[in-house]
Structure 1
């Protein structure tokens, strides 16, 4: 990649990062292209040159946000910290997101997530499930996950939870419960160990 292409990609990333920050804080409708341009230190024309419309920018921001969340999850899974610390980090990350995401942006993410054949479903199958498998295998090897629990049962439980949360009547209520649901999921499987 030459210098021009690198600068172009960095500028696009800056726009997506700025849009993510503003959408997380204020929602989608209240944020204007001019505010995103100001936050990203670019012109509105530059945003339209990259994304053509606010709708496309919202969609690409959604993809960027999901990819970033998966990368963060991957870093936790591949870190050298003990299993309980990985679980705490995952719960902390979920809590942080739940506390800082604007309801409207969250609803958009969940609505996109519930569409058939969507991007999140693809990421879930290709990346998240293998990471969960690795996480629970590590937990079993370190003595924190019951070795008698089958991988199939754990994955079935994850899928059941995911499928339920994707229902519109559910995802509209789930955001304030994110930390509790995550705690129940992990400590229900692991049995919370004394600190």
Structure 2
């Protein structure tokens, strides 16, 4: 995560790692471990606050400085969008099973994250 990669590359990497995790552990098991188990949930929340969130703030700020993220949105709004997306990633990745080209489907999800439904990639 600390490598000099674009924001898009980092988000794609996270989605692919999530996909890899879901291929080894069913979403119900992950939910049981990470949400239903209160001790584990609290540990994960603490790790997020202490380590992951500061790193994500840094990544978003660097993305804004490089012009990858518009200055029209705050760091907090970007973090919320990422958090919402990641919380839904299990369902999105489960949905890819119905598609012939699963890799293309993941690319579509990444595109929607970055450019929205009607957005266009920068030229």
Does TM-score exceed 0.5, indicating one fold?
Answer: yes
Is the Cα–Cα contact under 8 Å of residues 83 and 139 in structure 1 kept in the other structure?
yes
Q: Flag the 1:116–1:176 CA change in 2: closer, same or farther, 3 A.
A: closer
1:15-38 deviation per Cα after TM superposition (whole angstroms, max 9, x unaligned)? xxxxxxxxxxxxxxxxxxxxxxxx
With normalisation by structure 2, the TM-score equals 0.62
Q: Secondary structure of the residue that 2:73 maps to in structure 1?
A: coil
With normalisation by structure 1, the TM-score equals 0.42
| Correspondences of 1:160-171 after superposition (within 5 Å) | 161=84, 165=87
The aligned residue for residue 90 of structure 1 is 14
Q: Which residue of 93, 98, 106 corresponds with 2:30?
A: 106
Pair member with larger Rg: 1
The root-mean-square deviation of aligned C-alpha atoms, in Å, is 3.6
Structure 2: which 5+ runs fail to align? 94-105
Cα distance in 2 between the residues matched to 1:144 and 1:158: 15
1:147 CA drift (Å): 1.4
The aligned residue for residue 60 of structure 2 is 136
| Aligned residue pair count | 106
Q: Secondary structure of the residue that 2:69 maps to in structure 1?
A: coil
Q: Flag the 1:176–1:158 CA change in 2: closer, same or farther, 3 A.
A: closer
Please say if 1:177 is aligned against 2:92: yes
| Correspondences of 1:76-87 after superposition (within 5 Å) | 76=1, 78-87=2-11
Q: Flag the 1:176–1:99 CA change in 2: closer, same or farther, 3 A.
A: farther
Is the Cα–Cα contact under 8 Å of residues 12 and 110 in structure 2 kept in the other structure?
no
The aligned residue for residue 187 of structure 1 is 114
Q: Secondary structure of the residue that 2:92 maps to in structure 1?
A: helix
Structure 1: which 5+ runs fail to align? 1-75, 166-170
The aligned residue for residue 118 of structure 1 is 42
Cα distance in 2 between the residues matched to 1:90 and 1:117: 20
